[in-house]
Amino acid sequence: MRCLIWNILLCLLAGNLSGCAVFPWLEPQIQGPPPPDIFMGPPTLPEAIQAINQNTTGVRQLQTESATLTVPNLPGPSLRANLAFESPRHLSFRADIPLIGSHRVLDLGSNQDVFWMWTNDELLGMRIPNAPRSPVYYARHDEFARSIAGTILPFEPIRLVELIGLVSLDPNGQHEGPVPIGNDRLEIRSRIPTPQGDWTRTLRIHRRYGWVLEQHLVDAQGRYLASAHTQDHRYYDQDGVSLPHRIRVQLAPGQPQQFDFEINVTSYLVNQLLGDPAHLWSVPQIEGHPLVNLLEQQPEPKSPNLSSSQPNRQEAPVRDPRIGYRPDYRGLRELR
């Protein structure tokens, strides 16, 4: 169970958000084209919600292969990371050790039907002697709350996009604010109904540009579930959107199972994707690592007609027709 929790936590570098302000903060340093002033004065709540949602809906697709993932207390250097997103539910987030050859460490993602998560416990030095190799866990979206992941984590991997500020607020939801916090930000609190009771999400946005700078999520018992802080925002004038290039996240801050990580991005490709998108949105099958349904906790049986047109690659087609097919996808160029 402990191994499974580590796999889920480490792979779920996707979550929702929460916490208390734990990272030092400076006035944002603007790079690239100057962003427009979204608020000319103190905004009303509808104006703030409209600004946040407009920036989010402006990003239909997002991709980067120039990211790094840093996890404190893990051995080795920062991991090289690739992220691709297509609204509303398509996500691929992978990380590997930046050495010659294939050293995949993490693969998590989501498509219209399922989400998945996998970590290479051997390369991370987390494998238990004589234990089976780390599975590729998956579950259907509509089964998440009933899966073991749903008992440990309050969110699915697709929520990773919220960590980079792509948040949507229901105009008809329960919100309070915006209230001035310090010199550069406004705070909005929202009630989020869940089967476990109402959670509270706190957003802190820039008072002029409307950027989401902090996100905090607290459950119905008052426990912090996660916390996200973003920096280095840049305005992509062709698409009229702003995105952060440094994201710091804490899961379960202040609790024994606290888990921290940081994502740094050199640049994004906005509203276009490189390569065939269908290959990004499929659960990987990795040789020697079984495909396991989180709800059932049992490996999928091998299909007798399973075959691969590229037998030497690390990832072969997935056998489950509900999940799709995914060949090796390491040929994309770096985005600069």
Q: In this predicted model, what pLDDT tens digit does every residue of 252-289 receive, in sequence order?
A: 777 776 788 999 999 999 999 997 877 889 998 888 88
pLDDT value at 108 more than 70 = yes
Q: Which of 162, 135, 178, 150 is nearest to 46 (CA)?
A: 178
Q: Which of 59, 101, 61 is nearest to 281 (CA)?
A: 61
Write down the pTM of the prediction. 0.77
140 is written with which tokens?
């259907």
Lowest mean pLDDT among 18-32, 240-254, 265-279: 18-32
Lowest mean pLDDT among 25-39, 221-235, 314-328: 314-328
pLDDT value at 77 more than 50 = yes
- Please compute the mean of the pLDDT values over residues 5-15 and round it to a whole number: 44
Characterize 70-104 residue by residue with b for buried, 16 or more Cβ atoms within 10 angstroms of its Cβ, and e for exposed.
ebeebeeebbbbbbbbbbebbbbbbbbbeeeeeeb
pLDDT value at 333 more than 60 = no
d(CA 22, CA 276): 40
Sorted by sequence, the CB contacts under 8 Å of residue 41 that are 6+ apart come out as none
Q: Which of 29, 36, 31 is nearest to 239 (CA)?
A: 36
Domain boundaries, the chain: 2-164+173-316
270 is written with which tokens?
């906005």
3 state DSSP class of 127: coil
Confidence bin at 215 (pLDDT 50/70/90): very high
Q: How far is CA 263 from CA 102, 137, 185, 323, in A?
A: 21, 23, 22, 28
Q: In this predicted model, what pLDDT tens digit does every residue of 34-57 receive, in sequence order?
A: 899 999 999 999 999 999 999 999
Sorted by sequence, the CB contacts under 8 Å of residue 154 that are 6+ apart come out as 15, 16, 194, 196, 199, 217, 219, 225
In contact, 109 and 157? CB cutoff 8 Å? yes
Confidence bin at 101 (pLDDT 50/70/90): low
Percent with pLDDT over 90 in the chain: 43
pLDDT value at 165 more than 80 = yes
Q: What is the DSSP letter of 282?
A: S
pLDDT given at position 153: 62
Confidence bin at 66 (pLDDT 50/70/90): very high
pLDDT value at 147 more than 80 = no
Between 5 and 45, the more confident residue is 45
pLDDT given at position 317: 36
Q: Which fold has domain 2-164+173-316?
A: outer membrane lipoprotein receptor (LolB), chain A (2.50.20)
Between 155 and 38, the more confident residue is 38
pLDDT value at 157 more than 90 = no
pLDDT given at position 163: 81
- Please compute the mean of the pLDDT values over residues 75-92 and round it to a whole number: 88
pLDDT given at position 286: 83
Q: In this predicted model, what pLDDT tens digit does every residue of 289-328 receive, in sequence order?
A: 889 888 776 555 543 222 223 333 334 333 343 344 333 3
227 is written with which tokens?
């916390």
pLDDT value at 145 more than 50 = yes
pLDDT given at position 306: 24
Between 234 and 21, the more confident residue is 234
Q: Which of 336, 332, 329 is nearest to 104 (CA)?
A: 329
- Please compute the mean of the pLDDT values over residues 130-136 and round it to a whole number: 71
What's the whole-number average pLDDT of the chain?
Answer: 77
pLDDT given at position 323: 42
d(CA 129, CA 316): 26
pLDDT given at position 52: 97
Sorted by sequence, the CB contacts under 8 Å of residue 323 that are 6+ apart come out as 111, 113, 114, 116, 138, 282, 283
246 is written with which tokens?
């440094």
For residue 181, give the amino acid letter: I
Between 223 and 152, the more confident residue is 223
d(CA 234, CA 18): 23
Chain centroid offset of residue 18 CA? 14
59 is written with which tokens?
């990003």
Q: How many helices (H) and strands (E) does the chain have?
A: 5, 18
pLDDT given at position 241: 96
